[in-house]
Amino acid sequence: MNEKLGLRFLSTQDIIDAAFADKLPDKIMITVHPQRWSDSFLPWIRELVWQNFKNQVKKYVVRSKQYEALEPWNVE
Q: What is the pLDDT of residues 34-43, one digit of tens each?
A: 877 888 999 9
Q: Kindly report the CA angle at 4 between 62 and 11, in degrees rounded to 5?
A: 60
Domain check: are 20 and 50 in the same one? no
At residue 1, does pLDDT exceed 50?
A: no
% of the chain with per-residue pLDDT over 90: 41
Provide the domain count of the chain: 2
Domain check: are 50 and 27 in the same one? no
Give, as one character, the DSSP assignment of residue 39. S
Domain check: are 46 and 63 in the same one? yes
Domain check: are 74 and 43 in the same one? yes
| CB distance 70 to 63 below 8 Å | no
Domain check: are 22 and 56 in the same one? no
% of the chain with per-residue pLDDT over 70: 84
Domain check: are 23 and 48 in the same one? no
Q: Kindly report the CA angle at 22 between 18 and 23, in degrees rounded to 5?
A: 55
Domain check: are 26 and 63 in the same one? no
Domain check: are 76 and 42 in the same one? yes
| CB distance 44 to 51 below 8 Å | no
Give the residue numbers spanning the domain of 2.
1-31
